[in-house]
Structures are given as structure tokens and as C-alpha cells.
Amino acid sequence: MTVLSHADTPIGLLQSVFGFVGFLANQEKVCDAAIEGRDLLLVMPTGAGKSLCYQLPAIARGGTALVISPLISLMEDQAAKLAALGLRVARIHSGLDRGAARQACVEYLEGALQFLFVAPERLRVPGFPEMLAKRKLALIAIDEAHCISQWGHDFRPDYRMLGQYLPGLRNSPDPPPVIALTATATPTVQADILAQLGMANSLKFIHGFRRKNLAIEVVEVAVPARASAICHLLASSARRPAIVYATSRKQSESLAAELSLIVRAAAYHAGLDAETRTRVQKAFQAGELEVVVATIAFGMGIDKADIRTVIHAGLPATLEGYYQEIGRAGRDGALSRTFLMHSYADQRTHNFFLNRDYPPVEHLNKVFAALGEDPRPAAELWSESKLDEEEFDKALEKLEIHGGARVDFGGAATKGAAGWKKTYTIQAQYRAEQFERVLRFTRSSTCRMSALVRHFGDVNDANQPCGICDICDPAGAVLRQFRRATPTERRIVQAIVDRLRPVSYMATGTLQRSLELVDGMSRGDFDGLLDAIVRAGLIEIEEAEFEKNGEILRFRKVLITEIGLEVRPATPLPLLIGDGIADEFEAGSKALPRQKKATTSARIASQKPGGMETNPEPADPASEVLVALLREWRTAEAKRLGVPAFVVLHDRTLQAVARARPANGAQLLEIDGIGPAKAERFGVAILKLCAVSSS
Ligand code: ADP
Ligand code: MG
Ligand code: ZN
């Protein structure tokens, strides 16, 4: 038996080679498995210290570790860090001359290297994999492994080839382990990585996605009300420094301008020149700016521990992106708040971007058809394609990413492989699905943090409620407003648990129809009540589907929980019902100066098709009648529900309805301030009034 000296143990190497005092969370067990020679997939958030999990085992195992990395900058950065620790490192990528590559190979064959970094496309160079195979590797690390998956946003066809070359590099009775690392892989992507790399017996380590000090709120806020709500939130110095994520450059500019009236704020987006961007980033880092209103281009280089608030002024495209962005808050461990604002309007915006970023296959087909064996200048291809310039650029870019075209530095393109269509279609579909997941996240009534942890596939950790999000702690929510349930609502809850007790589950619709007490209650109200009962822990709601005549029909089913089974008429029920945003954040007539209010409504009007730009508020007597009718109805409705009138409809929404005079549900939803919940709840009544007053 050999006795390891302290210096050769993992902790010894950590201290003597890397100069760290102790392991970060989960590093030790991952290192142990890798040292043992197990294949593994490691999914931990950025900054969790994944690199060490292949670097330390490489040293412990002895020999050369092959590290595949998709970006030259990443390679250079890691190689420099290892060299600074006195380790023997070489790298091979297209940014280096041939001499350097040859030298690296010589050193490798001499056994003089501990780490060899290569770009994936290098493996396609004839003779290179064979050269590597001449020696046995200590291990093979694949950094940013999500690039291998066509589901991933950074899909790289060259990464996909890796699976072909691995067997040749592992041809030994005791093959070197493969260690695949990534910060962003949903269960779908994880499965794809393992399949592509042929890692059937791999261990999976998925850790560290739970952030205990982030209180997440998700709130429906109409687009025109967002700026004022954000200003109110950030007016308190305890909520700064802050990052606000905007969905467009224009929104980033306008929000920054409004915020500048109360705090030191600036915009940051890809349309600004590099100098301005660096200046903003530095000023924020140094504390000279307290708020940055950014598009997704901001944050990568930010290393600021005390960010107290992250606000999303619109829906993000993916939960992965959303998680990364809120993750920038509270690095110091102190409680930080994140707010996600959304409404039906965000879906339209998103569909617009999706169509722009993932153009129809026909566009790609047109460009692909024009390509040949000989390089053709892009300008020539463009004029032939009959696409507009932006469409053409996008189509060519997508073809290149998916291997359907090769574009040289001069901008001339040659035909690539026909397989692009499959991966492109799959990726476009996946993108749409990712947004569906964002929508589901906003609608869900389960703990926000748990939902995110589950999204990243850490099922073990997903069942623990966080205790501080708007679902776990409605009373503690800052922006989202809840009200106590009325006595009638509490009676309905009692009836619901009584109805569910003897059955295993019921569809929401069936349940509603089976209760006399809820006669006349709208679907939206009933759903809101169910959500409140879920929050109180008495029931659970699952999305389910069944097939009827070849069609997939979705429904929500309600199940009673253990706690629900215990409820008796005398049980006190602390029920809080979701109710839009809190009063103090409302841009009501008191809070905003008159003039500003007028411009806001002018803006709403000018967005409507049919062009009211020239005369935003026509003195139309018929619309005055409709305003009066709507007001009357609103007063009665508010009284019936026992809520303030603005909860039913804001004044400006009411005005907008009167101007637009919607004839159907779709037109009603076009109006800012009317989300699906409001439409469902009040749509029938509003449309009836509009119809009456126009006849
Ligand atoms: P990831 O790849 O997961 O994003 P990195 O491997 O780049 O993270 O590590 C993030 C930072 O944490 C680096 O600066 C690294 O030096 C540091 N780090 C890694 N392990 C430890 C440790 N055990 N103790 C202290 N710092 C560590
Ligand atoms: Mg990394
Ligand atoms: Zn929670």
C-alpha cells in the first residue's frame, strides 16, 4: 500500500499548486470522482470554480490533460493562469502561427506538457488525432460543453464532431476520463451532451443553482406603467446599486433618461460605441453610477458584489438568460430583490424578435440554392436572393452556423453540407419552446427559486421552497400586491377542499362548474383564487394533457395536499389573493404631473394601428358616452369585488378602451393595460358595453 504524503492528496494539491485554502462547494467530490477515472458531466453556475475540477485531477493523475475549448480568449486566459502557477501549458488555435503549433506537438510527444488546450476544429486536421493518440492522456476536459448540443444557444458544428474522435483518444483498457463542463444546460441539453459524447456511464454533478438571498417577484405590469414603477422601486437607496434589463435599445435609453431624474443612471447597449460602454461599465463598477439600464449585452464583465436589485422591464427570451441576469444580484450574500415585469404585450415583442432571429427556412433555402463549389461574393448572392439586406445577412449567418455555407474573410461564400436544415429547424423550434417555458414560469404558482433550480435539472434540490419569493411569502412582496380573501372567497375555498377530498384530482374547469358558490365568477377570478390556495399549500396544480380525435388538449388538474385534507370549517385560512401591483408604484394621476400623463396616453394611441398620430384624443361624442358607460360599470364591479376602482381598470386603460372600441377579444388584448387575466375576467362585460354604445 502506498501512503500519500499530504502534498499529493487533493487538498494538498489545492493548497500547494493552486494556493487556495479550501475547496469551494462540491469541488472536492467532483475532483475525487475524476481522479478515480470516472466520466462526468459537471453543471454549475459561472464562477462556481468548474475549471479546478479538471485541473486538479489532471495533476493528480499525471501526464497531459487535453482541454477542448471553444473560444481563443478562454483558452488564452486559462493557459496564462496555469502558466503563472508554474505549470507546463501549451495551446493550439488559429490565432497562433504554425511554428507554435509544431512546438506544442513536439513538447506533447516528449511528455513535457501538463495541459494542452486545443480548439475543436483542430481535431479535423489530418494526422492530429493520431498524433494525440501516441500518448495516453491524463484526462480529456471539454469546456463549455453545451456548445455540442444543437439545443444550446451556442451550438458549434465542430463540437459535434468530438464524439467521433473520442474513442480513438481513449483506446486503452484504462481510458482517460472525459470531463464535460458547462454553466448552462437544461436536462434536455444535458442528455444531448452525454449522447453526443458517448458517455453512457457518466456521473452527473448538477449543483449550486439555488441562491438563498435572492427574493424573486414576478408581476404583471402594463407596459406604460413600468417606467414609473421602476423609478419608485429604485428611489430608495437601499435598493441600489441596481441593474435594469430592458428589451430594446430604445427602452434602455428612455428608462435611463427617466431614472436620471432621481439617481445617477445610464443606458448600456450594443448600439453605443465601445468607449461609452467601457466608461459606463467602469463608472458602475466604481460606484459612480448607481443604476445601469442595459440590454443583454451588459453584465459579462461585471464583478460587483453589492448589487441589491435586478429588474427585468420585459420578459426575457429564456430562463437560462434570466437566471444569469438575476444572478448578478447579491454576490455578497446580503438579501437582494429581483423583479420581473410582464404583460401580454411582451409576447408580441418576443414573437417579433423570434421571427427576426430565426428567419423562415425558405430564406435560408434561397441563399443555399445560390451557393456553389466556387466562392461567390456575398453582394452577388444577395441581389440574386431577392431578400432584403437584413434578411439576407441573417439567412447567410444561420447557414454558416449550421454548416450550410462557408464564408471566407473576404465575405465570399461556398456551399456547405445539406444537413443544416435539420439542426436549424430543431434549434428554431427549441427557441420557441424556451420562451414557452418563460411564460409558464410567470404563470406558475410554485416557489420561483425552486422552479429555476428544477429547470437546471437539480431535482434533488428542487423541492425546498425558498421562503422569500412572491409565492412563498406574498405578504413580504414589495411590488406585487396581494389582498386578504373575502369571507365569500374563504367559503369557496372550504367548498373546494370538500369537493376534492374524496377524489384524486379534478380538472379546473370541471371543479368550477361543480361548485354553486362560484356561479358567475369568471375563469380568471377562479384561477386567481386557485393560485392563492396553492400558495397556502392546500392544493397543487399540474399541467396535464390528453388526446382527443388526434388533437392534444391541455388542461390543469387540481390535487389536494396533506395540508388540504386537514382543513375543516373552523381552520383559519391565511389566504392572500394576487392583485396586480402595489398602490405606491402606480403611476396614478396624483403621482404624475398632468403633462406627462398626456404624453403617455398620446404614445399609447400612436402605437395603435389605424394611425391616430395626428389627433391622439379626438373629441368624439360617442367615445365620451362609452367612457361614461365604462366608468359606471367599473364602479359597480369594484364594489362587487370589494376593491378600489383602479384594480378593475386604470383610468388610462379605460380611456384607451373607449378610443379603440374593440369588437372582439383579440382587439381587446391589443390595448395596453389589458392582459389575459383582465380580458378573461372582464372581457365579456367590456365588449358588451363597446357594442351597445356603438349601435
Ligand atoms: P467557472 O468555470 O465555474 O465559471 P472558474 O473555474 O473560472 O469558474 O473559477 C472562478 C473563480 O474561482 C476563479 O477566479 C478561480 O480562481 C476561483 N476558484 C476556484 N476554485 C477556488 C477555491 N477552491 N478557492 C478559491 N477560489 C477558487
Ligand atoms: Mg469556466
Ligand atoms: Zn419561493
The per-residue pLDDT for range 470-504, each reduced to its tens digit, is: 998 888 899 988 888 888 888 899 999 999 999 97
Q: In what order do the strands lie in the sheet with 405-407?
A: 376-377, 412-415, 405-407
Residue-range domains of the chain with CATH: 6-206 (3.40.50.300), 214-350+444-463 (3.40.50.300), 358-432 (1.10.10), 481-585 (1.10.10.10), 621-694 (1.10.150.80)
Label each residue of 349-383 as H, E or C: HHHHHHHHHCCCHHHHHHHHHHCCCCCEEHHHHHH
Q: Which of 24, 51, 205 to mutate to test the pocket of ligand 1 (most atoms within 8 A of CB)?
A: 51
Are 291 and 243 in contact by the 8 Å Cβ rule? The answer is yes
Angle, CA 232 vertex, CA 331 and CA 603 arms, to 5°? 120
Containing H/E element for 48? none
**How big is the chain by its Cα radius of gyration, in Å?**
29
Q: How far, in Å, CA of 257 to CA of 195, rounded?
A: 49
pLDDT tens digits, 65-89: 999 998 888 898 899 999 999 999 9
* Alpha carbon distances (Å) from 145 to 65, 123, 190: 16, 16, 9
Q: Is the CB–ligand 1 distance for residue 47 below 6 Å?
A: yes
Helix (H) or strand (E) holding 642: none
What residues does 328 pair with on adjacent strands? Answer: none
pLDDT digit string, tens, across residues 251-274: 999 999 999 999 999 999 988 888
**420 vs 402: CA distance, rounded Å:** 5
User: How many Cβ atoms are within 10 Å of 96's Cβ, its own excluded?
Assistant: 16
Question: Which residue's alpha carbon is nearest to atom 18 within ligand 1?
Answer: 49
How far, in Å, is the centroid of ligand 2 from the Cα of 32?
A: 19
Tell the residue nearest (CA) to atom 20 of ligand 1.
49
Q: Is the dihedral of CA 613, 615, 619, 622 positive or negative?
A: negative
Q: Which amino acid is at 30?
A: V
Residue 595 has pLDDT above 60, yes or no: no
| pLDDT over 50 (residue 600) | no
Helix axes 361-370, 378-385, angle to 10 degrees: 120
User: Alpha-carbon distance 653 to 123, whole Å?
Assistant: 60
Looking from the CA of residue 23, the nearest atom of ligand 1 is: 23
Which residue has its alpha carbon closest to ligand 1 atom 15?
49
Find the distance separating the first CA and the last CA of the chain, reported in whole Å.
96
Instruction: Give the burial class of 580: count Cβ atoms within 10 A of its Cβ; 0-12 exposed, 13-18 middle, 19 or more buried.
Output: buried
pLDDT, residue 448, reads: 96
Main-chain dihedrals φ then ψ at residue 429, nearest 5 degrees: -65, -40
Question: Which residue's CA is minimally distant from atom 5 of ligand 1?
Answer: 49
Residues 144-173 have pLDDT tens digits of 999 888 776 667 778 888 999 999 999 988
